[in-house]
Structure 1
């Protein structure tokens, strides 16, 4: 059996047949039939036509609504045309302005390169559309200020693509775990990530390093978990890396807070994981100990009681995250995303400056951003 066929068979066991077929179709750029019960009129626009847009956003939209994507745009015409052909997208506008002025559109999904997310989101909000923007929502503080300024008074709502809080494991843990308002959280995330060559677009200086591209997911998860109890303010941040020439790879981040929290995230990529990114997440709070094994299994211990749950297909939270614009009661609190972005940007600066120790304050960072927003009125 070839490696490709072996991976496809393995993916079926992990993700189910439908999602695995979409992943394969995304690599081959071929279409697949969809059988959705609901078929609303096409009113979704897609910016960015790469693998994630095809195999993840495309899959969950098509499996829920059928061919609801009206138009797609990409700076690479080949990616744009191949996605449009495969997913029966009716319109392939030649410019972002042509896309955003289509009166039939109601919702825009942004899945382009990271440095372009905020700019596209600002334009879409100014066009009166509701906006789903993939992570990160910004790769610089200046971008974040412009995005938050555009959010004020916008007709449409904005949703972020940080999906781990939407996973079945995290949602179930939240539903059953008693929260001690005075107790600290210990949260540890170990991630075996993809190997990225020197030529990979994540490596471009303007794209925000792997901190924005990858680690932001687990910083956001930390903020979400801490919000269950109430957010701390001040944090001490410590960074360690294996290679000073690539301080955003094979890196470990330790964060302690003024409320007794301890958070660690280790991202390593010493080999390419055959089944894709693999995550182990451990949490301890009060009398609760929990372990999430690659979002396929969850074990919760509380005293002598133990609970085990299995999730199949593997659920990293993409479905509920992507459907936020249409299931608003399940949408994330936007302020959580803003706070996790501020912390992510500070750690990105640390990596770029090879700075190993820093202190961070949510209130001070939020106030600084707010002053910049107000100054631009």
Structure 2
């Protein structure tokens, strides 16, 4: 097993090296930063390679609550997923700013993109748009074939006493779920409070690694090529469009 967590542009080459010698690759986000690496990775996964992507938002205890509260299993109304994310401004020479790392969509926005796709069983993308304001704020819209929609704003404008901040709302079937900073959860329906919980937002990390370790030991399959491609392809296409919009990386 190879645990891969380095400069973003090294993730895919290291994962490919592991898969070529028959090892299991456990890869931090982003899994890939180039379309060519994505194509090569897909070939190895289709051939039986095992890879586990470390998207910790999939492992939050809030997922079970929101699936139940929004009644997602009923599939009677599409999900509307809206998130505003504040990221700390980076030093001028931080490696996240390297051209090889691509934009903040690839570096960090991939978490929310993946979570949205994962909650919708990686339904095909019908439409996607992205715009970048002069100050570097990214506004993303994604619509899936099942009519679910994502609205994502990534910014470092303003300030925060706590570092990364997020405000996420998910709506379906007359219910609104609000998640603040990955720690506070509220579900409401009309005048009724369905659920209110508070968790340690870091709890998703040990849960993720416990799950991955269990699947490794038991020989369970890793992420499928379809799942890896869904998140990576959409993220890279949005990033390419954003780069074209700004005229720089």
Shared fold, TM over 0.5: yes
Aligned counterpart in structure 1 of residue 83 of structure 2, from 183, 186, 189: 189
Query: 268-277 vs 281-290, which deviates more?
Result: 268-277
1:171 to 61, 64, 67: 64
- Of 49, 53, 78, which residue of structure 2 is paired with 1:160? 53
C-alpha displacement at 1:203, in angstroms? 1.2
Q: Deviations 1:265-300 (Å, cap 9, x if unpaired)? A: 111112453322111110101122110111211111
Partner of 2:2, secondary structure, is strand
Residues 261 and 327 of structure 1: is their aligned pair in 2 closer, same or farther, counting only changes over 3 Å? same
Displacement, 1:147? 1.4
Structure with larger Rg: 1
Kindly indicate whether residue 183 of structure 2 is the aligned counterpart of residue 296 of structure 1.
Answer: yes
Q: CA deviation at 1:262?
A: 2.5
Task: Tell whether the 8 Å contact from 2:12 to 2:31 is kept in structure 1 after alignment.
Answer: yes
1:351 shift after superposition: 1.2
**1:150 CA drift (Å):** 2.3
Instruction: Note the alpha carbon deviations across 1:22-41, whole angstroms, 9 max, x for none.
Output: xxxxxxxxxxxxxxxxxxxx
Matches within 5 A, 1:1-377: 107-154=1-48, 157-179=50-72, 180-227=74-121, 231-235=123-127, 237-243=128-134, 249-315=136-202, 317-328=204-215, 333-334=223-224, 335-354=226-245
- Is the Cα contact below 8 Å between 1:295 and 1:311 reproduced in 2? no
Given that 1:165 and 1:171 are in contact with CA atoms closer than 8 Å, whether structure 2 keeps it comes out as no
Q: Is the 8 A contact 2:167 2:180 kept in 1?
A: yes
Q: 1:141-178, CA deviations, whole angstroms, 9 ceiling, x for partnerless residues?
A: 10111112222434x62100111121111232124431
Deviation per CA, 1:208-240: give whole Å up to 9, x if none. Answer: 21111011111111101222xx724412x2223
Q: Which moved more, 1:265-274 or 1:119-128?
A: 265-274
Contact persistence 1:295–1:316 (CA under 8 A):
no
Q: Give the structure-2-normalised TM-score.
A: 0.87
Distance 1:120 1:333, change over 3 A: closer
Runs of 5+ consecutive residues of structure 1 not aligned to the other structure:
1-106, 356-377
Q: Distance in 2 between matches of 1:118 and 1:333?
A: 14
1:304 Cα offset (Å): 4.5
Q: Which runs of 5+ in 2 are unaligned?
A: none
Most deviating of 309-318 and 278-287 = 309-318
Distance apart, 1:349 and its partner CA: 0.7
Contact residue 169 and residue 297 of structure 1 kept, 8 A: no
C-alpha distance in structure 1 between counterparts of 2:154 and 2:222, whole Å: 25
**Secondary structure of 1:165 counterpart:** helix
Decide whether the 8 Å contact of 1:254 with 1:262 is kept in 2: yes
1:311 to partner: Cα distance: 3.0
Pairs aligned (count): 242
SS of 1:347's equivalent in the other structure is helix
Higher relative contact order (CA 8 A, sep 6+): 2
